[in-house]
Amino acid sequence: MKHISGSGNKFHPCFCTRQIRSNPYCYKGVPRLQTGFQLMQTTSSIEKILPEVLVPFLVVRDEADKVTDPAVSKLLFETASSSDKTINYGEFPENLDIIFSDVIAWNGQLEKERKIRNDTVETENSSQN
């Protein structure tokens, strides 16, 4: 497996962290109580409508992620009504190239399936006219 170093890769966590911390418009303090409350309200609202999610989606989850709860990723995957959903767990920095390949492959497969479905509909509509 190829290891991607942080120096030239704009998606490497070290590069992103430096870029975020150097941004003068990025808030770096502790969130205010109202901000935390609004985030909790938004999360709760999203949780309630998860069964209505019908669009295809891919969840890529880093096992070392300290920001999001892994149970929430699992809840999204299990609760959403979409028939086309995928969840991938991994160690993000070590497998960055594999993760990007997975995302590109998933997107390519989705595009291929949609094209086949649309071509079939077009053919059926043409034959009816």
Q: What are the pLDDT digits (tens) for 64-115?
A: 777 778 888 888 899 999 988 888 877 766 777 888 888 899 899 989 988 9
CA atoms within 13 A on the CB side of 27: 5
pLDDT band for position 15 (50/70/90)? low
- Secondary structure class of 60 (helix, strand, coil): strand
Torsion on CA atoms 33, 28, 60, 12, rounded to nearest 10? -170
Which CATH number describes the domain made up of 13-128?
Answer: 3.40.50.1820
| Average pLDDT over all residues of the chain | 79
Q: Is the pLDDT of residue 1 over 50?
A: no
Query: What CA–CA distance (Å, rounded) separates 113 from 122?
Result: 14
